[in-house]
């Protein structure tokens, strides 16, 4: 420490003291950081070494066998993404590439092998481009099913909640735009916290030089606060730590530990592994609950056949259900930290909870414990990334890598832990089998739902209740813009339709045990299905739809389908049994509706060459016409009504082209002619809150270009930055299309349908249904047109409304 001489000038003495304190703090800080870097590099070295070994091992293995898909995995993934991006950029005007926007919105980016087109010309694995150019960075790790859940902006990410950032018309640079004075003031007034280092300078300087005005002034100048604040802070500090009790040098060290102790590398990595959502690319994603397991095409198992390495994907894996002895093998197969299957979000959340707890209690743990737990967590997380292949990759060449990994992981595990895990899994499996048996018999005797179905049913009902309640709320409401803004669902036949479409039992709000017929119309669309095998009976239409999608994406891999698409709904065993049931059902006539679709997919997926990356199937080759009675439901409205959800789910949409509109800017045009009520496609976009929408709307209104669509009383779709081509459909009071909010797999989604027969090449219009008091001139209904506006007056921004 520099020695300061007390002289006449008190102020320069104080400055000298402060400077020397700062130097001391800085050097302590450097020392501490250096120490932590060294510690962390020691901790990291086994991990990096292990990754290096794995990668090296794969490389060696792949040289010995050309069939190994995981050869030089890291380079391959990088190259794949670059290729995909290149191919997209190469053909901007290509007709097929037009379609890529459509496809892009439902694209599943599955690590590498982002093939842009298959031989049938069906584009499937194209990267969703982030407007901010993040694809290159995150594309490798993102599994994104944009269409299914769109993208929910978190409140804390709110553009307005932070710094009022908007995006310019070129979709590129952000505009910083403060449009709310109140919020700006609020931000300014936010109290600045004192840093630990500032606290120490205040305390030590005053202890050294006293608390004269000159000292306070100098400190105030240095720390950029008011002298009164410095004084108040010192008093607080004194209250926290009575004078005289502080021992200067040790305190400094302890303080450093406090300051940086929580910035532990393990904790950070744990957070990343467990809390970072790889779909939305944010931490603590509310939509997906946690980080998603990653899936790569190399994981895709072909037919469930002999070469299976027997590694179960979790306690509900069909491999365990069919062969309980296999549990003993888990000892050497399961990643150490896998205590629960990742079949449901709940489980995942629980896992997060426990991880959080682990982090929270890190103070009680020793460092080595922390290190061990986190590296095992990482190991399990890694298993969700590349090591998911462990589950599915059956190539014998890959096995050595796998076993290496296991050995590496196992190194830090005590045998007793393994035994405990195995015992727990054994118990769970037995319990599961007991429950399965009893619920099965119950369902046969009473003809009612399985317990799991009951839960789902009640969950679904809650969702519906919420929707109905909120729609009632909305129709009654005159309280706020939001309430008036959203769908008038109850009065609105469209939403009632939408509900009855997928949730026929909304009105049957009796007890869940009222009998299966009334409750299960939704899942047992086909009464014949109810009478069939229990495997089929318990499958809802939406679950079957997801299974179809799963077969299309992963092939016949029950582990991956269950985990990625049917989490919380069906287990791996359920999927496996159902697929077997379908496959073994003899005559094609014995299967109806979706069952035969599933069979088609199973059949085709078996034929897909195993060595190729996923080949997208032509939907037309396996789909069957709807509304012809194959679903067992009379064609109630004669307009393919009952297929709407499925069409949305399966993206069976029309080709839409982009062109210069007859009315304004760009417009959407239909490539082929369609009949009345035909499903044309989906209006997709970012899923944002109404608050966010109102804030963005201000900017959009200024630009006279809004892509906001009112989805429900919680969310608005904003297609400004991303969305399907249908977002370019313009408004007309006498349109040829209409928009409808439909419940699909528990999500509200917007479908655009033909209001009449539309010829090929026609421009598509629908009525934006802007509220009268907010509609721009071009969307106002002509005076005396007699058109009744059922929208309530409100104060928010104009948003499109469904019928």
- Pick the closer one to ligand SAM by CB: 169 or 306: 169
- 355 touching ligand SAM, by CB under 6 A: no
Q: Which part of the chain contacts ligand SAM (CB under 6 A), choosing from 4-12, 31-39, 568-576, 727-735? A: 727-735
- Pick the closer one to ligand SAM by CB: 159 or 752: 752
Among 358, 406, 457, 731, binds ligand SAM (CB under 6 A): 731
- Pick the closer one to ligand SAM by CB: 64 or 169: 169
The distance of closest approach from Cβ of residue 661 to ligand SAM in the complex, given in angstroms and rounded to an integer, is: 5
Task: Tell me which residue has its CB nearest to ligand SAM.
Answer: 665
Check: CB of residue 800 under 8 Å from CB of residue 769: yes
Contacts of 125 (CB under 8 A, 6+ apart): 84, 107, 108, 109, 110, 113, 114, 115, 116, 297, 613, 614, 616
Q: Which part of the chain contacts ligand SAM (CB under 6 A), choosing from 72-80, 125-133, 206-214, 728-736? A: 728-736
Contacts of 756 (CB under 8 A, 6+ apart): 676, 736
Long-range contacts from 408-412, C-beta under 8 angstroms, 24+ separation: 408/50, 408/53, 408/379, 409/335, 409/336, 409/376, 409/379, 410/332, 410/336, 412/336, 412/372, 412/375, 412/376
Among 581, 601, 728, 766, binds ligand SAM (CB under 6 A): 728
Bridging pattern class, strands 715-718 and 686-689: antiparallel
Measured in residues, the chain has a length of 803
| Cα(450)–Cα(453) distance, integer angstroms | 5
- 665 touching ligand SAM, by CB under 6 A: yes
Measured CA distances, 466 to 463, 479, 644, 713, 740 (Å): 5, 19, 22, 10, 19
Element (H, E) at 282: strand 282-283
- Pick the closer one to ligand SAM by CB: 533 or 701: 701
Q: Which part of the chain contacts ligand SAM (CB under 6 A), choosing from 154-162, 236-244, 619-627, 722-730? A: 722-730
- Pick the closer one to ligand SAM by CB: 361 or 704: 704
The distance of closest approach from Cβ of residue 134 to ligand SAM in the complex, given in angstroms and rounded to an integer, is: 24
- 661 touching ligand SAM, by CB under 6 A: yes
Pair of tokens at residue 109:
């980016």
Q: In the range 274-293, which residues lie near ligand SAM by CB under 6 A?
A: none
- Pick the closer one to ligand SAM by CB: 169 or 609: 169
Residue indicated by tokens 């999500």: 747
The count of chain residues that interact with ligand SAM, using the rule CB under 6 A, is 16
| Cα(682)–Cα(650) distance, integer angstroms | 11
- 167 touching ligand SAM, by CB under 6 A: no
Q: In the range 682-711, which residues lie near ligand SAM by CB under 6 A?
A: 704-707
- Pick the closer one to ligand SAM by CB: 628 or 734: 734
Contacts of 759 (CB under 8 A, 6+ apart): 670, 673
The distance of closest approach from Cβ of residue 719 to ligand SAM in the complex, given in angstroms and rounded to an integer, is: 7
Q: Which part of the chain contacts ligand SAM (CB under 6 A), choosing from 286-294, 570-578, 588-596, 664-672? A: 664-672
- Pick the closer one to ligand SAM by CB: 450 or 707: 707
What is the x/- site pattern for ligand SAM, positions 292-331, by CB under 6 A?
----------------------------------------
The distance of closest approach from Cβ of residue 645 to ligand SAM in the complex, given in angstroms and rounded to an integer, is: 25
| Cα(522)–Cα(460) distance, integer angstroms | 11
Q: In the range 359-418, which residues lie near ligand SAM by CB under 6 A?
A: none
- Pick the closer one to ligand SAM by CB: 203 or 727: 727
- Pick the closer one to ligand SAM by CB: 553 or 717: 717
| Cα(343)–Cα(10) distance, integer angstroms | 69
If you count DSSP H runs as helices and E runs as strands, how many of each does the chain have, helices first?
Answer: 32, 15
- 730 touching ligand SAM, by CB under 6 A: yes
Among 778, 780, 781, 789, binds ligand SAM (CB under 6 A): 778
- Pick the closer one to ligand SAM by CB: 45 or 664: 664
The distance of closest approach from Cβ of residue 746 to ligand SAM in the complex, given in angstroms and rounded to an integer, is: 27
| Cα(373)–Cα(355) distance, integer angstroms | 10
The distance of closest approach from Cβ of residue 782 to ligand SAM in the complex, given in angstroms and rounded to an integer, is: 13
Long-range contacts from 69-75, C-beta under 8 angstroms, 24+ separation: 69/297, 69/298, 69/393, 69/395, 69/611, 69/613, 70/298, 70/386, 70/389, 70/393, 70/398, 70/401, 73/112, 73/298, 73/386
Spell out the alpha helix ranges (H) of 180-224: 181-189, 196-209, 213-223
Alpha-carbon 180 to chain mean position: 31
Among 20, 433, 666, 673, binds ligand SAM (CB under 6 A): 666
- Pick the closer one to ligand SAM by CB: 271 or 732: 732
Which residues form the interface with ligand SAM (CB under 6 A)?
661, 663-667, 704-707, 727-728, 730-732, 778
């Amino acid at each position: 420490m520099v020695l300061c001489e007390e002289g006449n000038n008190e102020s320069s003495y104080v400055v000298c003291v402060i400077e020397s304190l700062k130097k001391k703090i800085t050097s302590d800080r450097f020392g501490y950081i250096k120490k932590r870097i060294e510690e962390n590099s020691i901790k990291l070295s086994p991990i990096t070494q292990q990754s290096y070994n794995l990668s090296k091992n794969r490389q060696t293995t792949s040289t010995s066998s050309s069939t190994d898909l995981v050869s030089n995995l890291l380079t391959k993934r990088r190259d794949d993404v670059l290729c995909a991006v290149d191919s997209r950029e190469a053909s901007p005007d290509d007709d097929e590439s037009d379609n890529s926007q459509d496809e892009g919105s439902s694209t599943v980016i599955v690590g590498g092998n982002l093939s842009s087109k298959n031989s049938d010309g069906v584009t499937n694995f194209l990267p969703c481009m982030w407007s901010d150019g993040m694809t290159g960075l995150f594309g490798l790790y993102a599994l994104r099913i944009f269409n299914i859940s769109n993208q929910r902006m978190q409140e804390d990410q709110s553009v307005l909640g932070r710094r009022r950032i908007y995006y310019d018309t070129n979709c590129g640079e952000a505009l910083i735009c403060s449009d709310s004075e109140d919020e700006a003031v609020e931000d300014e007034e936010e109290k600045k916290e004192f840093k630990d280092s500032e606290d120490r300078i205040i305390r030590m300087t005053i202890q050294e030089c006293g608390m004269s005005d000159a000292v306070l002034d100098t400190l105030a100048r240095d720390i950029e606060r008011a002298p009164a604040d410095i004084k108040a802070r010192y008093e607080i500090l004194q209250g926290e730590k009575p004078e005289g009790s502080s021992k200067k040098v040790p305190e400094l060290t302890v303080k450093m530990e406090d300051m940086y102790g929580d910035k532990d590398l393990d904790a950070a990595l744990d957070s990343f592994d467990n809390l970072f959502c790889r779909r939305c690319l944010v931490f603590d994603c509310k939509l997906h609950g946690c980080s998603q397991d990653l899936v790569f095409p190399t994981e895709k198992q072909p037919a469930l056949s002999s070469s299976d390495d027997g590694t179960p994907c979790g306690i509900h894996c069909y491999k365990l259900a069919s062969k309980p002895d296999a549990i003993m093998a888990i000892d050497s197969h399961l990643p150490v930290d896998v205590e629960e299957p990742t079949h449901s979000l709940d489980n995942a959340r629980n896992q997060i909870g426990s991880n959080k707890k682990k982090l929270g209690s890190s103070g009680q743990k020793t460092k080595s414990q922390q290190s061990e737990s986190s590296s095992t967590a990482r190991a399990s997380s890694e298993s969700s990334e590349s090591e998911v292949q462990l589950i599915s990759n059956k190539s014998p060449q890959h096995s050595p890598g796998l076993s290496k990994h296991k050995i590496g992981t196992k190194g830090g595990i005590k045998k007793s832990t393994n035994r405990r895990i195995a015992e727990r899994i054994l118990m769970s499996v037995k319990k599961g089998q007991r429950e399965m048996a009893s619920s099965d018999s119950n369902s046969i005797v009473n003809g009612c739902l399985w317990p799991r179905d009951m839960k789902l049913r009640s969950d679904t009902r809650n969702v519906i209740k919420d929707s109905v309640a909120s729609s009632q709320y909305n129709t009654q409401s005159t309280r706020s813009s939001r309430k008036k803004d959203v769908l008038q669902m109850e009065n609105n036949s469209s939403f009632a339709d939408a509900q009855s479409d997928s949730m026929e039992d909304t009105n049957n709000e009796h007890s869940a045990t009222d009998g299966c017929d009334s409750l299960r119309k939704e899942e047992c669309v086909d009464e014949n299905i109810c009478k069939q095998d229990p495997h089929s009976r318990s499958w809802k239409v939406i679950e079957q739809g997801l299974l179809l999608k799963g077969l299309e994406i992963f092939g016949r891999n029950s582990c991956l389908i269950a985990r990625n698409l049917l989490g919380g709904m069906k287990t791996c065993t359920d999927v496996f049994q159902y697929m077997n049931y379908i496959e073994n059902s003899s005559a094609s006539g014995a299967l109806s509706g979706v069952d035969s679709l599933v069979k088609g997919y199973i059949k085709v997926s078996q034929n897909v060459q195993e060595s190729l990356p996923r080949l997208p199937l032509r939907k037309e080759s396996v789909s069957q016409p709807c509304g012809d009675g194959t679903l067992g439901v009379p064609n109630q409205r004669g307009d393919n009504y009952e297929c709407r959800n499925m069409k949305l789910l399966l993206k069976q949409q029309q080709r839409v082209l982009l062109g210069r509109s007859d009315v304004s800017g760009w417009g959407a045009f239909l490539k082929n002619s369609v009949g009345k009520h035909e499903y044309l496609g989906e209006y997709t976009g970012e899923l944002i809150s109404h608050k966010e929408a109102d804030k963005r709307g201000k900017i959009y209104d200024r630009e006279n270009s809004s892509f906001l669509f009112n989805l429900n009383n919680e969310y608005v779709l904003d297609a400004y930055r991303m969305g399907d081509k249908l977002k370019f459909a313009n408004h007309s009071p006498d349109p040829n299309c209409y928009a409808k909010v439909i419940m699909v797999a528990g999500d509200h989604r917007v479908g655009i349908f033909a209001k009449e027969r539309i010829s090929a090449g026609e421009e598509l219009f629908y009525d934006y249904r802007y509220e009268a008091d907010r509609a721009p001139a071009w969307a106002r209904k002509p005076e005396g047109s007699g058109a009744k506006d059922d929208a309530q007056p409100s104060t928010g921004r104009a948003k499109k409304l469904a019928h």
